[in-house]
Amino acid sequence: MRAFEAEFGMALDVAITRANEAETVELRSREAANAREAQADALAARLTTQTDARLTQLRDWRLTHARPDAEPEAAIAAIAEAVVQAANVVQGQSLEQLHAEQTSLLVALHAIATELREVEDALAEVEMLVIGEALVVATTLTRAYKRESVQARRFDTVILDEASMAPIPALWVVAGLAEANVVVVGDFKQLPPIKHSEHPLAEQWLGQDIFRASGVQGAWEAGEPPENLVQLQVQYRMDPQISARASLEPSSIPVRRPRARSG
């Protein structure tokens, strides 16, 4: 201890006390620095949010082309430039003039909206007339059950193509437009309709195709196809060798295994 006192000019216990005090001061300084850093980060985040909002508004007003995610310096410069540009635009105009111009534009927009509604109504009338007098109507399944022009009339025969992928309720709605015949065309070996819900009712009405739900597929698999089932024997989509291989059951497709090497 005497050697320590001789070298440092103070008692050991005094040195320890001062060291502890210095450590405490350093710890408090570090905590204060961390608090200031967190405060600075919060201010930076708030500044970024505000500049992004301002830039978005200025872009809507066509006063800047800067993106909301620009760097802070670039964003602030773009805002300042847009302010100057806006000042040049409104220079020499009074608030009353701007209000009058705004009112005039709103009146013009209202007139355009009214004209557009009249055009849409006219187009709807033309569509009703054309669909109502057409001998053959070709459309998608969705438009067939959603368009009033299609739902407003009846057909001798309704042909539903690609029925294996169609939801059963949609097929029922469109099939109800037929007065004499309904022809359902599809391949029950293809994928069933797409559904997202796992509810049993969703599986019953949306998860299976019309061929399985009606019993046609089960009867065909049992070797007793119903009388109203017409099977197509010729296809023109691909080379016969490719279609023959695609028609094989997975268990019957030969698998090539690599030969073992010796030596």
Lowest mean pLDDT among 8-17, 107-116, 138-147: 8-17
Split at pLDDT 50, 70, 90, the class of 248 is low
Q: What is the pLDDT of residue 13?
A: 75
Residue 174 has pLDDT above 90, yes or no: yes
Cα–Cα distance for residue pair 143/177, rounded to 1 Å: 13
| pLDDT at res. 155 | 95
Does pTM top 0.85 for this prediction? no
The per-residue pLDDT for 34 is: 86
**From 8-12, 42-46, 135-139, 188-192, the region with the lowest mean pLDDT:** 8-12
The residue ranking higher by pLDDT, 137 or 190, is 137
Give the other-Cβ count within 10 Å of 78's Cβ.
21
Write down the pLDDT at residue 263: 42
Averaged pLDDT of the chain: 84
Average pLDDT of span 57-71: 84
Mean pLDDT value of segment 156-175: 93
> Which distant-in-sequence residues (6+ apart) come within 8 Å of 97 by Cβ?
none
Burial label for 151, CB within 10 Å (0-12, 13-18, 19+), is: middle
pLDDT greater at residue 247 or residue 87:
87
SS3 category, 98:
helix
Between 138 and 196, whose confidence is greater?
A: 138
**Does position 31 have pLDDT exceeding 70, yes or no?**
yes
